[in-house]
Amino acid sequence: MFLRCGSAKIPLQLCARTRSLFITSVRFYNGRGGRYEGERKSPRSRSRFSDTPVSLKKAKLIQIPFEENAAEVTLDELKDEGLIGKDVHESITRLGFEGLTPVQQKSIGPILKNEQQDVIARAKTGTGKTFAFLIPMFQHLINTRMENPFAVKYVIVAPTRDLALQIQTETQRVQSMNPTLKKFNSLTLVGGTNFGTSINNLVRRRPQIIIATPGRLLDVLRDYNKYFTHIDVKVLDEADRLLEIGFQQDLERISETFNKLNDNSEDHIRTLLFSATLDTKVQDLSANIMGKSECLFLDTVDKNEPQAHEKIAQSVVITPNLAHSIHAMVDHIKREVQSNPSYKAILFTPTIKLTSFISETLHSLLGRSLPILEFHGKKTQMARTKMVHRFKRDHSGILVCTDVAARGLDFPDVGEVLQLGVPPQTPQYIHRIGRTARAGKEGKATLFICESETPFLQYLAKKERINIEDQTEFKASEESIEELAKKLYDDEKLIDAFISAIAYYRANGRVFGFNDNRILSQIAESYGTLLNDRDRKIPVSANLLEKLGLSRNRVVQDMLNVQRSYRKHHNEDTMQAKNDRSRDKRWYDEAPFQNFVKRGKTKNQNFTKKSYNKTRGDNPRFDE
C-alpha cells in the first residue's frame, strides 16, 4: 500500500512511522529536567510549533513609582470609567471593605486598561495583593465570556500548595457575592493531592481559572495540554520566590509550553507578577517568562522606606546559644499567654525537625492552655489544609512552622510572629513578620538569636534598611534550665533537631557572615545546656559528619560526641549504638534512595543522591 504525496509514493508503513516520529518531536519539559513526549496533537496545531522561542528582547520597563499623596481610586470610579462592570462592583462592595487598598487602587485600572502590557506590582505584606489580581481577573472573564467559554483563560501560580488553596478560597469568596461570577469555575492543581481527581475535575468542570503550584502544573501539562490553548493571563503570586533557583526553570518551561500551545499567538499571554519583595531586577529574572513589549512596574512602597510593614513592632532577643534562645522564647510565650489568654502567634523555626521538637516541647509546657499546631512540609496535605482552616478560625494558639508558611498565608488576628534563629534570606524575614499586622492592623515580631548570629542584624540593616532598635539580652537561669531539662528526653527527636540545626547553619550561615566554628560550636554546646548536663554532647557518626562537611573540622568535632570507629561502635550492643544505627539508617538508608531512583526511572528521570538528599532536607522548593 502506498500514500501519494505529490509525485512521490510513500509506503504507508513509513508514513505511520513519520507521524509518530513527528509527534514525539512535539516535546516539552517537565520541571525536573526530564523530557516527555507531547500529547497527540490535532493536525491543525502542528504547523504552529516553531522551535525558536518567543523573542526574548527585554521589554520596555515603565516605572510608576510610589506617590505619597496619590489621588484615591474607588470602586465607583472604576465602574464609572467603564473598567469594571456592575457584577464585579457589586461583588466587591458586598465584601464590606471600606475602600480599596493602595495596591488595588494602583493596579486594577492599569491591568484592565493596558491589555498589551505585562505588570510587576510591589506592595507590602497584608495589603490586599490577592484581590488586586482577582478583581481584574473576574472582569476579564466577564468581558471575554462569549469567546471560548469553556477554556482556561487565567492561570495563577503560587510557590506553596497552601497559598494556592487560599487563593482559591478567596476566589470563591468573591464569587459567592454575585450569581454571574459564580458561573465561572476555578480549579487548583497542587502537589499532595490525587492527580487523577485533578484531571477528572479539569476534564469535567472545564474551569476558566487554574490556581496551581509549578510541579503539579507541569505534570498536568505533560499529558493534558490541550486544555491550555486559550490562556490570556498568567499571574505569579510571590513572584520573587517563584523566580528563585529551583522554581525559575519550572516557570520558564510552563511559560514556553503555554506560548507554544496558545491558539492566538506565541506572545499573546500577559504576565502579572506580585510580591512584597520585588525590585526592577526581577524583570531580568523573568525575561524568559514575560512576552509583552512593555512592562509596567507599579510600586506602592517608597524606594527609601523598608519593605517591612511599618505597623509591625520589631524586636530581637540575643542569647548565649540556641538552648538559651529556646528558653527565652518559652519564657516570652508563657508571659504573653498569662497576660493575654487569646494570644495568637506564628513561630518560625529553621528546620522541620526543630519545628517538631519545639511544638512538642511547647505542648508539654503549656498543656491545654492553648492549641499548638505543628505545620511543615512533612505533614500530609490533608493535615496541612485542616491546620490552615483551623488556625484561620481559632482566636488563640501557636502555629509552629517552617518557611512553608512564610509567604502569603493570611491568618486573621495573628498578634505576633516569633522566629527562633535567623531565616535563610532577608526577604523571608520580611514575609515571615508579614504574617502579622495585616489589613491595617498592628502586630509584633520578635526574633530570638544567639550572639554568633548578630551579624544578621547588620546584614538586614544594610540589605533591607531594617534597623531593629528594640534589642534585649537574655540568659536562662539555672532553675529554668533545670526545670525544662526534666521535661526533655535525650532521644532521637532531640538529637535529630540539633543535627538539622547544624545542617541548616552550615548551608545558610555564610551569607550573613557568620563565623562557622562559632555558630556550630554554640549549637553543639546547646545540647548539653538544654539537658542541663554540660558534658553531654550530640552523638554523631563519622559518616554523618562527612555528609555535613565537618569531617575535617576539629573545633566543632570536639564539641560533638563523634563515633569515630563507626563500624565498631555501630556493632556494639549499647542503647546509644542502637539509637545511632536507627538514626543513621533512617537518614541515609539506601532503601528509600533506591525507591527514589526507581520512581525517577518511571518518569524518564535520572535522580541522583544529591537530589535525593535535597528532597529529604527542609527545602520548601520540594514542598509546593
Distance of alpha carbon 248 from alpha carbon 477, whole angstroms: 48
Complex with ligand ATP: residue 105 or 117, whichever CB lies closer: 105
For the CB of residue 245, give the shortest distance to ligand ATP in the complex, in Å. Answer: 21
100 binds ligand ATP (CB under 6 A): yes
CA distances from 466 to 197, 265, 429 (A): 45, 45, 10
| HSE of 283, CA atoms in CB hemisphere, 13 A | 21
Q: Which is nearer to ligand ATP, 170 or 516 (CB)?
A: 170
Binding residue count for ligand ATP, defined by CB under 6 A = 18
Render 453-517 in DSSP notation, one character per residue: GTHHHHHHHHHH-----EEEE----HHHHHHHHHH---SHHHHHHHHHHHHHHHHHSGGGT--HH
The reply to whether 162 sits near ligand ATP by the rule CB under 6 A is no
Residues 6+ apart with CB under 8 A from 96: none
Residues ≥6 apart with Cβ < 8 Å to 310: none
The contacts of residue 337 (CB under 8 Å, 6+ apart) are 343, 366, 369, 370
For residues 124 and 332, which CB has a smaller minimum distance to ligand ATP in the complex?
A: 124
How far apart, in whole angstroms, are the C-alpha atoms of residue 405 and residue 388?
A: 10
- Identify the residue among 30, 91, 104, 257 touching ligand ATP (CB under 6 A): 104
Least Å from the CB of residue 413 to ligand ATP: 10
The residue among 229 and 436 lying less far from ligand ATP, judged by its C-beta, is 436
Among 107, 117, 127, 168, binds ligand ATP (CB under 6 A): 127
When the beta carbons of 131 and 456 are compared against ligand ATP, the nearer one is 131
Min separation Cβ 75 and ligand ATP, Å: 9
Q: Whose Cβ is closer to ligand ATP: residue 83's or residue 330's?
A: 83
The residue (of 129 and 292) whose beta carbon lies closer to ligand ATP is: 129
For residues 512 and 456, give the distance between their C-alpha atoms in angstroms, rounded to a whole number: 5
Runs of H (alpha helix) within 268-406: 281-285, 322-339, 352-366, 381-393
Min dist CB 88 to ligand ATP, Å, is 14
Q: Are strands 27-29 and 35-37 parallel, antiparallel or unpaired?
A: antiparallel
Q: Interface mask (CB under 6 A) for ligand ATP, residues 36-65, using x and -? A: ------------------------------
- What is the longest distance spanned by two Cα atoms in the chain? 97
128 binds ligand ATP (CB under 6 A): yes
Q: Is the Cβ of residue 96 or residue 367 nearer to ligand ATP in the bound state?
A: 96
Q: Which is nearer to ligand ATP, 56 or 70 (CB)?
A: 70
- Rounded least distance, CB 66 to ligand ATP, Å: 15
Is the Cβ–Cβ distance between 236 and 271 less than 8 Å?
yes
509 touches 523 (CB < 8 A): no
Supply the minimum distance, in Å, between the C-beta of residue 467 and ligand ATP: 22
Site for ligand ATP in 214-253 (CB under 6 A): none
> How far is it, in rounded angstroms, from Cα 502 to Cα 208?
46
Rank residues 580 and 623 by Cβ distance to ligand ATP and give the closer one.
Answer: 623
Q: Residue 409 has which C-alpha cell?
A: 498565608
Q: Which is nearer to ligand ATP, 97 or 593 (CB)?
A: 97
Phi, psi of 616 (to 5 degrees): -85, -15
Smallest gap from residue 131 Cβ to ligand ATP (A): 5
| Distance in angstroms (rounded) separating the CA atoms of residues 571 and 551 | 21
In whole angstroms, how close is the CB of 170 to ligand ATP at the nearest point?
7
The C-alpha atoms of residue 15 and residue 51 are separated, in whole angstroms, by 23
Q: Using CB under 6 A, which residues numbered 430 to 449 contact ligand ATP?
A: 434, 438-439
Residue window 382-421: x/- pattern of binding to ligand ATP, with contact defined by CB under 6 A: --------------------------x-x-----------
Question: Residue 541 contacts by C-beta under 8 Å, 6 or more apart in sequence?
Answer: 562, 563, 566, 569, 570, 580, 584
Region 106-125 residues binding ligand ATP, contact defined as CB under 6 A:
123, 125
Residue 379 near ligand ATP by CB under 6 A: no
Helix or strand or coil: residue 25? helix
What gap in Å lies between CA 615 and CA 619, rounded to an integer?
Answer: 7
Q: How far is the CB of 20 from ligand ATP (least distance, A)?
A: 46
| Chain residues 264-303 in contact with ligand ATP, contact rule CB under 6 A | 276
461-465 contacts at long range (C-beta below 8 A, 24 or more positions apart): 463/426, 464/306, 464/307, 464/308, 464/426, 464/427, 464/429, 464/430, 465/304, 465/305, 465/306
Kindly tell me which residue out of 32, 129, 222, 506 binds ligand ATP, with binding defined by CB under 6 A. 129
Smallest CA-to-CA distance from 580 within 568, 597, 590 is with 568
Based on the shown chain and the rule CB under 6 A, indicate whether residue 452 belongs to the binding site for ligand ATP.
no
Residue range at the interface with ligand ATP (CB under 6 A); choices 41-49, 59-67, 96-104, 204-212: 96-104
Nearest distance from C-beta of residue 166 to ligand ATP, angstroms = 8
Question: Which grid cell sits at 376?
Answer: 511543615
> Which residues are registered as beta bridge partners of 154?
209, 233
Backbone angles phi, psi at 555, to 5 degrees: -60, -50
Q: Which is nearer to ligand ATP, 126 or 423 (CB)?
A: 126
Q: Which is nearer to ligand ATP, 73 or 398 (CB)?
A: 73
Is residue 136 involved in binding ligand ATP (CB under 6 A)? Answer: no
Residue 272: CB minimum distance to ligand ATP, A: 13
Distance of closest approach, residue 126 Cβ to ligand ATP, in angstroms: 5
* Residue 255 lies near ligand ATP (rule: CB under 6 A): no
Instruction: Give me the residues that bind ligand ATP (CB under 6 A), please.
Output: 97, 100-101, 104, 123, 125-131, 276, 408, 410, 434, 438-439
